[in-house]
Chain A
Amino acid sequence: MTEFASVGHSVRKVDSLSIATGNAFYTDDFVEKDCLHLKMMYSPHPHALIKGIKDEASRDLPGVVDILHFENVPRVMYTTAGQGFPEPSPYDYCMFDNRVRYVGDRVALVAADSEKIARKALSGIHVDYEILAPLFDPERSTLPGSPVLHGKDAYAPLPVEYSPEINLAAEVELGFGNMEEGFRKADLTEEHVYYSQMASHCAMEPHTSMASFDEKGRLVIITSTQVPFHVRRTVARILDIPAGMIRVIKPRIGGAFGGKQEILLEPYVAYVAWKHKRPAKMTLSREEVFTFARTRHPFRIRLKTGFKKDGTITAFDMDALMNTGAYGTHALTVLSNAGSKMLPLFNKIRNVHFHGRSVYTNLPVGGAYRGYGATQSYFAFNQQIDMIARKTGQDILEYIKKWHIREGETSEVFKILGEGKEGVEQYIRSSRLDECIEKGAEAIGWYDTRSRRIRPQRELCRGVGVAVSMQGSAIPLIDMASASMKMNEDGSFNLQVGATDLGTGSDTVLSQIAAEVLTVETGKIHILSSDTDLTPFDVGAYASSTTYLSGMAVKKCAEKISLQLLDVASSLLQSQTEDLFLEKGSVRNLTDGKSVSFEEICLHALYTADQFQIQAQASHVASESPPPFMAQFAEVDVDIATGEVKVSHFVSAVDCGVAINPKLAEGQVEGATVNGISYALCEDYIFNEKGRMINDSFDDYKIYTAPDIPRLTTIIVDSSEETGPFGAKSVSEIGMNGPVAAIANAIFDAVGIRLFEPPFTPEKVLKALEDKIDE
């Protein structure tokens, strides 16, 4: 199974027992004496100016310490997007504004001695609004005459397309080849418009942040975040205090999925704490998470493909409109990713054009969400190729195998499209997509079901569908991770990484990598992560980077430690280092068999002679972003009388290089898959005509629970990526990209209807069935 001692083994997650025994601390579990509690007041209007705020009635309430709003807080423009500096997202947000841009936008903040008092004080704040016309339709955002959301003080820190005066938050254009000729050469065309809906991450832990002071008066922010270092930098800038005066700590965090790749609450708690020299804490309610925190960006994608009778795609034209909501967090990068992660998959298409725009509307704000644009574009891609294969009489599985990118190949898209700047050219070094397709097809019983219109019951029709995808592993040349280690006299090591474990298990995986290099058990690695004072820099957990990028930094660091171990051992064993190698926690001489244990080495180094602390640090920047590949298969049963769609079996087969920890890798795939299925079938934001979300609770925003789960099969195929630590690539996001399309394709297989607008509710399915009968 694996030739490694730690890597490739499903080592128990290092924090799982402490969590299971209720011993783990999440941000809201930290208690500070004398803490201020913050409660935000939100806008009831989709678009309005604030003419004035009268807060005296609330200020006078006992226990109310402060009320913040645009009249008393300095206006510093920033982006809440947690990205490297300078961010590719526009600085169009400030802590408080005299303008609200969606129902749920921040208006004023109460700081009080308790959450109850803070909540009560909200009703005493009177806001004088001047209502402005709202803009809800992204197709109208850039048209003349539409309400304009942002003024002159919004700007883009990077030289990218940004035209707020026409509500344009970002624009991407790429093309190569000759589209006209491409379409001329085509025998047939397919052109369809695909939508992807807004959704919420629904991490079980609502966003929470707390700011307090250490004994020297430095600001300490404990927060539920994916990006502690970006938090520190941004808060420092907003408060105008040096970053060295701020310490950011991520404790246990209750899930994120991209929703906490934001600097959302930290500026508020930090500002209040700094101003009043008291700790300050803010926790969002579940309702607030839906609208004040970020969402998945809704997309409209028009995909036009020209192809020959043999299925060769001669022209691929994608026009994407992304609704970024009221602020442009991740507006450019999610949009780019829709192209950069999808277009290279069928790399032999000669004529490609991708035009995308992110536009403002008076709706909740999009942000990072697992898949990050690729989920939306793969929905379009995978349905379109299913149609092409059918139209040209081909087996879709053979079709995909024929046209997808292979080892040794590249795509022009890699070079052209990056994140806010140009991309990085790369060649695929590892791809086992064919095996994923074959194993997945077998697991779902593809050929037994496809096109057979089997009826498990009188009014149930069964079908199968497939979706393939690739993602990336970290952002090449831009993102950096680092690690430091030091040795203890019992032969154990302290490992410090900035890398952020969201529950994903990166603490465990990184420990395994270090353990593998050092030939010790994982239990000998004591990891500390995500503390800006104690751990070295890491961009944070996003872009599927922790295993690949942070893992490489850990590997390099551990290798440096190995050299020091060999060095000390060589003097203890009176040997040449060339004759020495690490073996199960000791150093052994190959030629004479003598060995010395790590304990002996460390005791010697610390106390005996030429004393020094065995320690090292290393940083890593990736030069490429090797994609994981995935094939996902859905078997659905469609009830033709009610329109209900039930997934009976779902198979995910992934090539993620070497799975450092198979159980954790499976866990990532399973979680993403179930999220994808529930996104496909029942998740949606429902707004009233005033732009207010009316299903902002789990009462009416439905996600899957235990009884809903279909039979799930997860297959990790054997693969290895030479640029990754011990052959690893990423696996955390990719599982999200297939379910919507696989289910849509399966529905077509079952009942012959195409659905372009998830969630595929029974009502929509029924309507499509009825329309089909009418044809």
Chain B
Amino acid sequence: MDWYYPSTPAEAARILEEEGHMPHGGGTGLLRRGFRDIRGLVDLSGLKLKESNSDEDWVYLGSGLTFSETVETLSALWEDCILIRSLSRAAATPLRNRITLGGSIADFPLWSDLMGPLYALGAEIEIYGEEEPLRFPLKEYLDGRHKERKGLITGLYIPFKRWQSWYGRYTRVTFDYPMLNISILLKPDAGIIRDIRIVIVGTTSKMNRLKELEEYLINRPLSMADISLPEEMLHFSFPRRKGISPEYLHHHASVLLERGLSEIIRGSIS
């Protein structure tokens, strides 16, 4: 197995074209996966993937930023961003110091604390393919619609929109991968729910955006007496986890969802 130390993203992308070559940004995904079938590892630490900047419309985060670095960067730029909540408690301190945005997107483990919030935010990813870097919505990347998927993820663009946010997860103990997690973004305006996004991760389809529920809630008054969710809109199911039944996970998700909505809606009234 060979190690490569490219100095530009284009060079890295070229090397990654070949069969059996994998990128390594320092995260834990590679060690979990093991080294079988890997002919070459592309060390990304020489590339400038830890940049971050923002303008009125977008926040850019380099894919090489670790969870800890992302939290620190966003805390200065965008202090109520949902990503700060979700990433600051993911895994544990020494792991947050290594897990990278790019690695997490590429691996998308079932239990990611990153993907749900990114999806809810409407993030776009930047990938270096053959020549010019491409940029497209995260969902399209996950759906595999671009063959450049094979390239190198170099950054994330997040629409710089001021949402109210809520993030919840179900874990067995604090240092645990979440059995499921829920991201809620809310835009209140003139006493009603102007816009809302709800994403749940950990389901049998990995990640669900609860569009039906969103539509149900849009334009409802913030002061609505009771936020009980119609069962038919809870379109998600869970796989069996070690020692936990799908039925329980569905129940817990429903409770968490109700609590999250209640908290975020009530919270935006004040």
Contacts and interface: CB of A to CB of B under 8 A. Distances in A.
Q: Let me know if chains A and B touch directly in the complex, using CB atoms closer than 8 Å.
A: yes
Interface string B106-144: 000000000000000000000000000000000000000
B242 A705 contact: no
Contacts of B92: 705
A695 B243 contact: yes
A699 B92 CA distance: 12
Contacts of B216: none
A700 interface: yes
A408 interface: no
B248 interface: yes
A699 B177 contact: yes
Interface string B64-106: 0000000000000000000000000000100000000000000
Nearest to B176: A702
A282 to B, nearest CB: 23
Interface string B157-201: 000000000000010111111000000000000000000000000
Given A686-B242, A705-B92, A761-B243, A766 B251 contact: yes
A708 interface: yes
A694 interface: yes
B269 interface: no
B248 A702 contact: no
A695 B172 CA distance: 13
A124 interface: no
B255 interface: yes
A678 B176 CA distance: 14
Given A642-B255, A705-B92, A763 B245 contact: yes
A704 interface: yes
A638 to B, nearest CB: 14
Interface in B243-268: 243-245, 248, 251-252, 255-256, 259
A702 B252 contact: no
A707 B243 contact: no
B174 A682 contact: no
A705 B243 contact: no
Interface residues of A, number: 20
Q: Is the interface of B mostly helix, strand, loop or mixed?
A: loop
A686 B243 contact: yes
B242 A766 contact: no
B242 A700 contact: yes
Given A642-B255, A682-B173, A703-B173, A763 B242 contact: no
A641 B173 contact: no
A700 B111 CA distance: 13
Interface in A656-695: 678, 682, 684, 686, 694-695
A215 to B, nearest CB: 42
A44 interface: no
B242 A694 contact: yes
A705 B252 contact: no
A531 to B, nearest CB: 36
A198 to B, nearest CB: 13
A682 B92 CA distance: 18
A642 B259 CA distance: 11
A641 B248 CA distance: 11
Contacts of A641: 255, 259
A699 B241 CA distance: 12
Contacts of B256: 642
A749 B69 CA distance: 45
Contacts of B242: 686, 694-695, 700
Nearest to B243: A686
A727 interface: no
A84 interface: no
Nearest to B89: A707
Contact of B173 (A684, A708, A766): A708
Given A761-B243, A763-B245, A704 B251 contact: no
Contacts of B259: 641
Contacts of B252: 642, 762
Contact of B174 (A686, A707, A763): A707
A177 to B, nearest CB: 42
A761 B175 contact: no
B243 A702 contact: no
Chain A to chain B: the 5 pairs with minimum beta-carbon distance, closest first? A707-B174, A763-B248, A641-B255, A702-B173, A686-B243
9 contacts: A686-B242, A686-B243, A704-B173, A705-B92, A705-B174, A708-B174, A761-B172, A762-B248, A763-B248
Given A642-B170, A686-B243, A699-B177, 5 more contacts: A642-B256, A682-B173, A704-B173, A705-B173, A762-B248
